[in-house]
Structure 1
Amino acid sequence: MAQQYTPNRPQEEEIDLREELGKYLRYWPWFCAAVFCFLVAAFLYLRYTTPTYNTTASIIIKDDEGKSPSSELAAFADLGLIGGMGTSSIENEIGLLRSRRMMNNTIKALNVNVQFFNEDKIRSSELYLNIPYQLSVLQLNEKALERSLKNEATSFRIKRDGEGLVLQNSETEERYNVKYGEPVNLGFADVVISENEDFSLESQEEFPKNVLIKFSTIGSVVENYRQKLQVNLTDKNSSLIELSLEDPVQAKARNILDQLVLEYNREAIEDKNLVARNTAQFIDERLAIINEELDSVETGKEEFKEANQLTNIEAESALFIENASDYNKRQQEVGTQLELSNAMIDYLNSGTKSDLLPANLGIQEEGVNQQIQEYNTLVLERNRILSGSTEKNPIVRRLNSQIDQMKANVLQSLQRMRSNLMIAQEDLDRQAASIGNKISAVPAKERQFRGIERQQSIKEALYLFLLQKREENSLSLAVTAPKAKIVDRAYSSASPVSPKPKIILLAAIILGLLIPFLFIYVRNLLNNKVRSREDLERVTKEIPLVGEVPKLEGKNTELIEKNDRSVLAESFRILVTNLQYLLVNAGNKKEGICLFVTSTVKGEGKTFTAFNLAMTLANNGKKVLIMGGDLRNPQLQRFEQGAKEWQGVSDFLVSDRLDLFSLIRRSTLHENLDLLSSGSVPPNPSELWRHEKTETLFEEVKANYDYVIVDTAPSMLVADTFLINQYADLTLYLVRAGYTEKKLLEFPVDAKNDGKLHDVSFVLNDVESTYFGYGNKYGYNYGEEELSAWGKFRSKAAFW
């Protein structure tokens, strides 16, 4: 039993750049043809495509945050009525410029939904400013226009007809006779056509004869230009906005951008005036209300003063406080005098006649002070005299009498003074209490008065503020500056932005190279068939490749003839030459050489190869026998008529009475070529090949022929070839280019490693001329056959 063998998968090899390029360079005619076709298409595209130009305008949006307090919204902002709303940001302004409403106003103002085209030239061009006719739309029914657009009945050709015009619908062929200046009803619109007196032929080679008028809905035109319009902020820290528009008609694009800015400014001014008018109305209403409230506050202040007998509450409060201070001082003085009087009275009552009364105590009563002084004088005089005399001295007695009398007077004066002081003290206490009550009432009155004054101040300030804002708003309403300052009016580029010839031509060349490359790459990527020698060598290097058989093209026959100088004949000569190196050892044997021709599956060219190999050997003077080794599906009759009905191998193996050489027939193809057909189709071919006569069969034919070529059955489908492979000196394993799958190449490798096949060599059949080198690659052509132009083209391509 053969040892189980796991085939070695080919190692990943380094990429050969030349080989990879060769895969594509062999198709260089495809690349040339594709580049040529794309260049032609590019030239036609550039010739018939209407160029588009870029138009740009620049504006500066005035910063609302930097406005002066005289702004129409500043009044509300200062009043706190729009606090938190903020001013419009630059993004909002950009959104407004892109809005459908703004573009709709622009399109309506310019009447862009009506277009004129000059059809005199190959490429229709739009007539915009220099139009031979003027068209005014009196009334437009959008719904009727939309219905007409669905039927493509909104285009009219205009032609001169005497003194009038003829309008013909390009779709319905309906005609309208039109006179200059008279309205005509087109079904969806009433229009008036007149001659354009400003029309000039300076920009026209001649007066346009075929003028096409096309009507479009405003909505569709608005959407078209909204998609084209680009509004970009040049810098995030600035308010400079750039508007750009791409359109085939430069003048139209310029007018649209300028009109768009005009509509933006007009609407901004209208909004500004509307706000200013609303602001003025609001201020007037508020002034009337504040005026009434101010009158009410002032009347209340007057009534409060009258009720409380106030002139100036601050001055009166200060006066009250000053009086209270005086009364306190006076109360202290009276209290002091009262205490002094009480002390003097007590002293008088407790003292003796010789005691002096205190003087200069601060008693303010001058009469009392004088009496005290006189009393002390009398006491001093008595004491002086008494020091030199007695109490009985008449002078002393007289002085004692005077002293007693003066003492009584002083006491009486002090008592009277004390009574007066007590009365004064009571009066001062009463007056102080009254002033104190007035002072304590001042804060409440002052609080009420302050509240009244506060209301008055607020109303006055608000009244003056509204008066100021009314004047500022009047100035703002009188001066209406545009919101967008135009930096650059719309201007168009000198060269078109599309199509760009250099880019289009470069793209054509790239596509011309890329598409064939992708096609070839994808085809190679998805290709699972063997195409060339490289595919075989990439899968396995264990089995040599001894020959390549080209694909038959044109009128070439399938069989080689005598003195044949075709590429097919030469390929088989090379195959025979290569076989000699593989059959060195077999050439020393006295018997003939047995060559098996097999393949993996049906249809890979075994019979074709067997016959042509036999013809090549026969042409070399060798005696050759072709044996039909496929007992299940004989194929020798393809090249030898009637071979299917002949008795052959199966009959010899079954019958013991048949002579082998009686079954061999002379071929009609060559005198050195004989045939042994497969014979009758047996029910058990595998069992039949195991017959002991099989060895006798091969020994006898090899003994009588130089070469025995056996056309065997497909190896993968049946085991017949494996059963008889031991009799082969060399096994030619057919692989058909474009037919055999690459994964099937593992089968012969496994069969060889398992010992089922021996001395195996590949023969690549049906190779495309682009892959087949000999006779083409090096420009060496055999025979006198003429190649077609495409054949020569491909032959030269193969060299690269």
Structure 2
Amino acid sequence: MSQQLNNSRPQEEEINLREELEKYLKYWPWFLLGVIISLGIAFVYLKVTSATYHTTASIIIKDEKSKSPSSEMAAFADLGLLGGMGTNSIENEIGILRSKRMMTNVIKALNLNVTYHNENAIKNQELYLDTPYFVQVLLLNENKLASYTRDEANEFYLEVNEKENFHLINTETGKKYQGNFGQPIEIPFANIILLENTEFQSKDIGQSVKLKIRFTNLEPVVLDYRNRLQINLTDKNSSLIELGLDDQVKAKAQDILDQLILEYNREAIEDKNLVARNTATFIDERLQIINKELDSVETGKEQFKEANRLTDIEAEAEMFIENASDYNKREQELSTQLELANTMIDYLQSDSRSDLLPANLGIEDQSVNTRITEYNNLVLERNRILSGSTAKNPVVIRLNDQIDQIRANVLESFERLRSNLRVSKEELNRQGSVINSKISAVPGKERQFRGIERQQNIKESLYLFLLQKREENSLSLAVTAPKAKIVDRAYSSSTPVSPKPKIILLSGLIIGVLIPFLVIYLKNILSNTVKSREDMEKLAKEIPVVGEIPKIAKKENEMVLKHDRSVLAESFRILHTNLQYLIVNAADKEKGNTIFVTSTVKGEGKTLVSFNLALTLANTNKKVLVIGADLRNPQLQRFEEDARLYNGVSDYLAGDKFKLSELIRTSMHHENLDLLPSGSIPPNPSELWRRTKTGEMFKELENQYDYIIVDTAPSLVVTDTFLINKWADITLYVVRAGYTEKKLVNFAVDSKRDKKLHDVSFVLNDVKWANFGYGNKYGYAYGEEKESILERLKNKVAIW
């Protein structure tokens, strides 16, 4: 038993899934139309939208820690000034590459805030370098440009009149600005120069280009490319960085990435050079300080030596010892010189001026020897002249005067020499005692001298070290390597990253199916009206649905004609057939059958169903009468133009003035169809229906006609139908698809249960083609000429 249950569940689930699918498959024209429209939009989008390509470049950030000590930081490192500083992490370098300042430098360098577009092209793609003319911005007022950007007046068309003449036409205001190529021109927010692109390939193409030049502030351009820039670290343990950028122009994206790397290296080199220059400044300042300190130490050393009369302590100590033995020799020499000086002084004071002075006596003073020689020469010349002249000769007199003067000088020189020698002798004696004291003071002076010399050596070493570092720093300043090594220069993908045709077309296909699905799904969920036979069978299982009337297009005929093979006629024929099985004791009944047609509210199609059912029965050679039983709002005039003008049911029930035979009229549409109009609209329809004449009227009419179709009033609104329903053999309850609310169907069920209506059957009116029949899979057009797929699609869409 349980196995049977288990076997039945999948089957039920399969049936339910099939039913759910059929709810959507019956709207297949909308799905097909949605797919066609979506694919068409996707195709147009692919044709109009410019392709976007991915551009990639890769660099390696050099590790500062692995650099040699001869780098620009080696001087500071050797000096111990960078002990607490390390190299920046790779995340910091990525942050620099992403910085707004770096991207601003790139945009300025490439002049990317000025763009060029070809208005004649289908795709409004930026021309970039493939433009016949370039704009060089001399001066840009960002504030004015910002106001023009808000007014959309920052775009200009280029109109070239002659070879050297052009016009810039503002796209918003239409104002023209005339200028010449290569010469400055002033526009409201900038001073620019327009130049021809010498690398532009074809002038014929340039003539077909309707060039539009757009000026934009740096800020939005910088933010746009900064947001689009992709920087990825390929591996956590490496310094290889991959830069990426998506753009519609390959060359532009490549230039941006290459320029970004260039700006990064340039800034890094400037930073390194700044460090080197600061290092040089620091070293120069330290050299000045060390130089002053070294001068101070050397001056102290000099003063110490001067104060102690030292040159070399060891040498002087040896010299003091050696000079101790030389002292006596020197003293003897001085005594000899002193004796010679005394002798010569005595000689000059006693001797006449005519005698020559002795020379080459060993006197050490050369000035004295020179004067003696000069004196002797004058004496010899005078004596030579006197040999041939007298003493009164003017020359002899002049020479005598010179001889006396020089003799006095010689005497003075010897006296000075004697005094000097005496002083020297005294000094020598003093030095003798000093030498002896110095020999005893050598150890203490040596200790002091060693301390001064130690300070001098330290300052000299530091001074030489700084000189060496200054030269190393100068070399590093002259030769600075870039920080980022380029692994791959910027290159673009051959296939676009967007839009991707396969994805776009697939998306269009999915959207084309999804939108109708969602519309139908939401429509079914939000709808509170009856749509199809399935809805009726779920809402009221105890009341059968005996007929479905299709939705009629506006241009189609609402009535069933003779020999009519339309879907409308076939639906009423099916209704007629189903009624034959519902008529109780139809075979034994000799009188005609009375069929009431009612509904819940106004507008559900009671009159249409009544009249067409009567026409269908009349086409079977049956005598049929249509009664307009809605005395409050008669509608038979829709099919019989003058029906409202005739007397009818209300006039018959109100008194004995009219007979039924006088009120019944033959329909203009069929010879077997008669019409009993509603007549004059009474003030008390319910009271009229309560009269005994009502039953007499139905009995009399049943004897005259095979079928009596009664078009009654809405059951929910008024009580008229309930009052006369006892005379009905069958009650057809009309429900209009898409109009009657589902909750109103319960009114028919309750009325049957309360026995207010009997022998009730539903007729579903105005059913859309998609909901008609059993999912419209089989249809009611058997034997008709088949329409083309396009015509059927058009009809289904129109009916739906």
TM-score normalised to the size of structure 2? Answer: 0.69
1:263 deviates by 0.7
Q: Do residues 40 (structure 1) and 40 (structure 2) align?
A: yes
1:590 deviates by 2.6
**Deviation per residue, 1:80-108 (Å, 9 max, x gap):** 87787764332222222111211111122
- Cα gap change, 1:596/1:222 in structure 2, threshold over 3 Å: closer, same or farther? same
Name the residue aligned to 1:242: 242
Residue 192 of structure 2 aligns to which amino acid in structure 1? Answer: V
Q: Do residues 513 (structure 1) and 513 (structure 2) align?
A: yes
Name the residue aligned to 2:377: none
**Residues 201-240 of structure 1 mapped to structure 2, 5 A cutoff:** 201=202, 210-240=210-240
Residue 609 of structure 1 aligns to which amino acid in structure 2? Answer: V
Residue 242 of structure 2 aligns to which amino acid in structure 1? Answer: E
SS of 1:582 mapped into structure 2: coil
1:491 deviates by 0.8
**Residues 611-690 of structure 1 mapped to structure 2, 5 A cutoff:** 611-644=611-644, 646-655=646-655, 659-690=659-690
Distance, in Å, in 2 between the alignment partners of 1:677 and 1:690 is 19
The answer as to whether partners of 1:269 and 1:482 remain within 8 angstroms in 2 is yes
The answer as to whether partners of 2:166 and 2:181 remain within 8 angstroms in 1 is no
Distance, in Å, in 2 between the alignment partners of 1:796 and 1:71 is 84
SS of 1:714 mapped into structure 2: coil
Residue 488 of structure 2 aligns to which amino acid in structure 1? Answer: D
The answer as to whether partners of 1:164 and 1:180 remain within 8 angstroms in 2 is yes
Pairwise CA RMSD: 4.3
1:731 deviates by 0.9
SS of 1:731 mapped into structure 2: strand
SS of 1:710 mapped into structure 2: strand
Residue 183 of structure 2 aligns to which amino acid in structure 1? Answer: E
**Residues 449-528 of structure 1 mapped to structure 2, 5 A cutoff:** 477=477, 479-528=479-528
Name the residue aligned to 1:714: 714
The answer as to whether partners of 1:736 and 1:765 remain within 8 angstroms in 2 is yes
SS of 2:579 mapped into structure 1: helix
- Cα gap change, 1:462/1:16 in structure 2, threshold over 3 Å: closer, same or farther? farther
Distance, in Å, in 1 between the alignment partners of 2:254 and 2:167 is 30
The answer as to whether partners of 1:155 and 1:170 remain within 8 angstroms in 2 is yes
Distance, in Å, in 1 between the alignment partners of 2:602 and 2:456 is 117
SS of 1:578 mapped into structure 2: helix
Structure 1 unaligned regions, length at least 5 = 1-11, 300-454
**Residues 374-773 of structure 1 mapped to structure 2, 5 A cutoff:** 477=477, 479-553=479-553, 555-644=555-644, 646-655=646-655, 659-773=659-773
The answer as to whether partners of 1:733 and 1:762 remain within 8 angstroms in 2 is yes
Name the residue aligned to 1:302: none
SS of 1:525 mapped into structure 2: helix
Distance, in Å, in 1 between the alignment partners of 2:198 and 2:88 is 46
Name the residue aligned to 1:190: 191
1:732 deviates by 0.4
Distance, in Å, in 1 between the alignment partners of 2:80 and 2:542 is 96
Distance, in Å, in 2 between the alignment partners of 1:527 and 1:77 is 82
SS of 1:740 mapped into structure 2: coil
- Cα gap change, 1:696/1:209 in structure 2, threshold over 3 Å: closer, same or farther? closer
SS of 1:588 mapped into structure 2: coil
SS of 1:583 mapped into structure 2: coil
Residue 227 of structure 2 aligns to which amino acid in structure 1? Answer: Q
Name the residue aligned to 2:57: 57
SS of 2:598 mapped into structure 1: strand
Residue 188 of structure 1 aligns to which amino acid in structure 2? Answer: F
1:558 deviates by 2.7
- Cα gap change, 1:104/1:686 in structure 2, threshold over 3 Å: closer, same or farther? same
1:642 deviates by 4.5
Distance, in Å, in 1 between the alignment partners of 2:750 and 2:73 is 93
1:256 deviates by 1.3
Distance, in Å, in 1 between the alignment partners of 2:799 and 2:616 is 27
The answer as to whether partners of 1:776 and 1:798 remain within 8 angstroms in 2 is no
1:566 deviates by 3.0
Name the residue aligned to 2:19: 19
1:164 deviates by 1.1
Name the residue aligned to 1:89: 89
1:708 deviates by 2.0
Of 21-30 and 239-248, deviating more is 21-30
- Cα gap change, 1:185/1:631 in structure 2, threshold over 3 Å: closer, same or farther? closer
The answer as to whether partners of 2:160 and 2:167 remain within 8 angstroms in 1 is no
Of 39-48 and 649-658, deviating more is 649-658
1:215 deviates by 3.1
SS of 1:16 mapped into structure 2: helix
SS of 2:192 mapped into structure 1: strand
- Cα gap change, 1:648/1:129 in structure 2, threshold over 3 Å: closer, same or farther? closer
Distance, in Å, in 2 between the alignment partners of 1:638 and 1:120 is 60
Distance, in Å, in 1 between the alignment partners of 2:768 and 2:611 is 21
The answer as to whether partners of 1:769 and 1:794 remain within 8 angstroms in 2 is no
Distance, in Å, in 2 between the alignment partners of 1:668 and 1:517 is 47
SS of 2:769 mapped into structure 1: coil
Residue 222 of structure 1 aligns to which amino acid in structure 2? Answer: V
Distance, in Å, in 2 between the alignment partners of 1:688 and 1:74 is 120
Name the residue aligned to 1:323: none
The answer as to whether partners of 2:571 and 2:780 remain within 8 angstroms in 1 is no
1:616 deviates by 1.8
Residue 588 of structure 2 aligns to which amino acid in structure 1? Answer: N
- Cα gap change, 1:648/1:248 in structure 2, threshold over 3 Å: closer, same or farther? closer
The answer as to whether partners of 1:245 and 1:253 remain within 8 angstroms in 2 is yes
Residue 29 of structure 1 aligns to which amino acid in structure 2? Answer: P
1:650 deviates by 4.1
Of 470-479 and 594-603, deviating more is 470-479
Distance, in Å, in 2 between the alignment partners of 1:180 and 1:677 is 92
- Cα gap change, 1:798/1:210 in structure 2, threshold over 3 Å: closer, same or farther? closer
Name the residue aligned to 1:434: none
Name the residue aligned to 1:278: 278
The answer as to whether partners of 2:666 and 2:675 remain within 8 angstroms in 1 is yes
Distance, in Å, in 1 between the alignment partners of 2:677 and 2:504 is 66
Distance, in Å, in 2 between the alignment partners of 1:651 and 1:799 is 41
Name the residue aligned to 1:386: none
The answer as to whether partners of 1:156 and 1:213 remain within 8 angstroms in 2 is yes
Name the residue aligned to 2:269: 269
**Deviation per residue, 1:746-791 (Å, 9 max, x gap):** 2212222232222111111122233335998557748989979865
**Deviation per residue, 1:450-490 (Å, 9 max, x gap):** xxxxx999999999998998787666545533222212111
The answer as to whether partners of 1:98 and 1:226 remain within 8 angstroms in 2 is yes
Q: Do residues 254 (structure 1) and 254 (structure 2) align?
A: yes
Paired residues in the alignment total 634
Residue 146 of structure 1 aligns to which amino acid in structure 2? Answer: A
The answer as to whether partners of 2:62 and 2:484 remain within 8 angstroms in 1 is yes
- Cα gap change, 1:566/1:184 in structure 2, threshold over 3 Å: closer, same or farther? closer
**Deviation per residue, 1:557-588 (Å, 9 max, x gap):** 33333333333222211111110011152432
SS of 1:494 mapped into structure 2: coil
Distance, in Å, in 1 between the alignment partners of 2:457 and 2:537 is 108
- Cα gap change, 1:676/1:84 in structure 2, threshold over 3 Å: closer, same or farther? farther
Name the residue aligned to 2:113: 113
**Deviation per residue, 1:345-382 (Å, 9 max, x gap):** xxxxxxxxxxxxxxxxxxxxxxxxxxxxxxxxxxxxxx
SS of 2:733 mapped into structure 1: strand
1:538 deviates by 2.9
Percent sequence identity over aligned pairs:
64
Distance, in Å, in 2 between the alignment partners of 1:775 and 1:541 is 19
Distance, in Å, in 1 between the alignment partners of 2:658 and 2:197 is 111
Distance, in Å, in 2 between the alignment partners of 1:507 and 1:654 is 71
**Deviation per residue, 1:708-728 (Å, 9 max, x gap):** 222222112223222332322
1:654 deviates by 4.6
The answer as to whether partners of 1:54 and 1:497 remain within 8 angstroms in 2 is yes
Distance, in Å, in 1 between the alignment partners of 2:727 and 2:551 is 31
- Cα gap change, 1:193/1:663 in structure 2, threshold over 3 Å: closer, same or farther? closer
SS of 1:508 mapped into structure 2: helix
The answer as to whether partners of 2:159 and 2:169 remain within 8 angstroms in 1 is no
Residue 16 of structure 2 aligns to which amino acid in structure 1? Answer: D
**Residues 323-362 of structure 1 mapped to structure 2, 5 A cutoff:** none
SS of 1:733 mapped into structure 2: strand
